[in-house]
Structure 1
Amino acid sequence: MAIKSNAKRNQRIHKKLRTGAYQELGFDLFWTFNPEVTEAQIDTIVDQFIDKVIEPAGLGFSGSGHKAWEGVICTRDIGKCTEADRQRVSDFFAKQPVSDFRMSELYDIWWG
């Protein structure tokens, strides 16, 4: 009977547990649209956020809201968000009619 090497077993366990090279980093996001923003504007801004920030960077966004929004951003595939990803999101919302914009630091989305 062949014995699996510790290296292979450890790699499999890391992948299963999303640790080591398979760790996934993401960040939380919160914002509130200003009171004067209409429903149509909210739809347009959220669509632009997905089309211009999330999709081109290979990120995923899971969130919801109406005037106040919250969600999490991570990579679509196993990977790590970066400070550059956080900066892209921050730059986008700096130009939008929102208040109370906040982002968390990067954290391990499986174990954080």
Structure 2
Amino acid sequence: MPRLSKYNARQRKKLHLGEFQEFGFGVTTVCQKDLTEQQLAVLLDDFLTNAIESNQLVFGGGFEAEAGDLRLEGYIMLDARQGSVSEEQRAAVEAWLKARSELTEVSVEALSDAWYA
């Protein structure tokens, strides 16, 4: 992480540092093995509509096959020019994912810096 004292407010804002730092979180889920393409499409559409957009969030990710499992994984940020995901929004997404019978495992990370690892 760069030293903040060497940047003025405009630079910190542009670089998402200090008071302009933004937070998001990652999700990883494992889907049931017997889901059809249609069921996966409905799951993804429901996720984007009811868990992401309804909470004013954006999702970067999708389905990925890994070690014989189909996973839905990605990173979630606030759908705004600037700002951070709240703990309430993170909890709402987690609750939505855990309520879905199509998902056998759900892992929702803690809030983290959305711009710097």
Q: TM-score, normalised by structure 1?
A: 0.84
**How far apart are residue 41 of structure 1 and its match?**
1.0
Secondary structure of the residue aligned to 1:37 is coil
> 1:37 matched to which residue of 2?
35
Counterpart for residue 81 of structure 1 = 85
Match of 1:69 in 2: 72
Residue identity over aligned pairs, in percent, reads 29
Aligned to 2:108, which of 88, 103, 106? 103
Partner of 2:4: none
Instruction: Provide runs of 4+ in structure 1 moved above 3 Å.
Output: none
How far apart are the structure 2 equivalents of 1:13 and 1:44?
42
How far does residue 28 in structure 1 lie from its aligned partner after superposition? 0.6
Report the equivalent of 1:59.
Answer: 57
Which residue identity does 1:93 align to in structure 2?
Answer: L
- Runs (5+) with no aligned partner, structure 2: 1-6, 65-69
Question: TM-score under structure 2 normalisation?
Answer: 0.81
Q: Distance in 1 between matches of 2:114 and 2:77?
A: 8
**Cα deviation 1:70-92 (Å, max 9, x = unaligned):** 10000122111111111111111
Distance apart, 1:20 and its partner CA: 2.3
Counterparts of 1:99 and 1:86, CA distance in 2: 19
Question: How many positions carry a matched residue from both structures?
Answer: 104
The structure with more radius of gyration: 1
Q: How far apart are residue 27 of structure 1 and its match?
A: 0.5
